Structure 1
């Protein structure tokens, strides 16, 4: 909140490691490995376009049965994908607080 107040034009990047944990908490343990793999397809995509497709695929695969998991992901979509707007050599340090 302070960042937004002091620097309102600053873009934010949400941490994929923490978001992954939050999403996995919304699905049964039996499918967590598949869900985790699908999330990795998003944030490890080669391009933003590929990531958008993987995001949409995730929504289609899990939206009906696990709406809370998908909602957690959708809620921060813009902030999760922000790193794609920067040079690729910076992606590793931008997309997570646990590089």
Structure 2
């Protein structure tokens, strides 16, 4: 999401909707291969007129496509920054109001309690059972678990 905003900021407003549509085509692709194809189309289409924006995009290619190495159930969570932003928005709203909360310990206690209260409304992560596989470095390709040696070689 942040990379999209960074790329769009380097473009004139009149072109931003076209580029944004191409960027969405990249990160909504079903497989890494189709995402790479969409990536190439976007670069080829806009690179001549907007080299700075496309250089910004091309520089982060591997990072932007890294979510294909995780379970497909987790993609919806990886593609968004909302969990981070909404969590800290709750804290920011309260701490800005109180300004000087007093001692450091008081502020930390307040932030802890705010986060504890906010977590009651958080959505559970999809594919929670696959977190153990991710932590144990089980390989995934295009959201599917790679099971044997022949699958790894095909990648």
Q: Which TM-score tier does this pair reach, normalised by the shorter chain?
A: 0.7 to 0.9
Residue of 45, 67, 71 corresponding to 2:55: 71
Equivalent pairs counted in the alignment come to 83
Calculate the aligned-residue CA RMSD, in Å: 1.1
After superposition, give the CA deviation of every residue in 1:23-45 in whole Å (9 maximum; x if it has no partner): 00111100111110000000001
Structure 2 regions of 5+ residues with no counterpart?
84-155
Mapped pair 1:33 → 2:17? yes
TM-score between the two structures when normalised by the length of structure 1: 0.80
Match of 2:66 in 1: 82
CA drift of 1:75 comes to 1.1
Residue of 12, 18, 23 corresponding to 2:2: 18
- Which protein has the larger Cα radius of gyration, Structure 1 or Structure 2? 2
Q: Secondary structure at the match of 1:68?
A: helix
Report if the CA contact (8 A) 1:80-1:95 is conserved: no
Match of 2:35 in 1: 51
Structure 1 regions of 5+ residues with no counterpart?
1-16
Structure 1 stretches of 4+ moved >6 Å: none
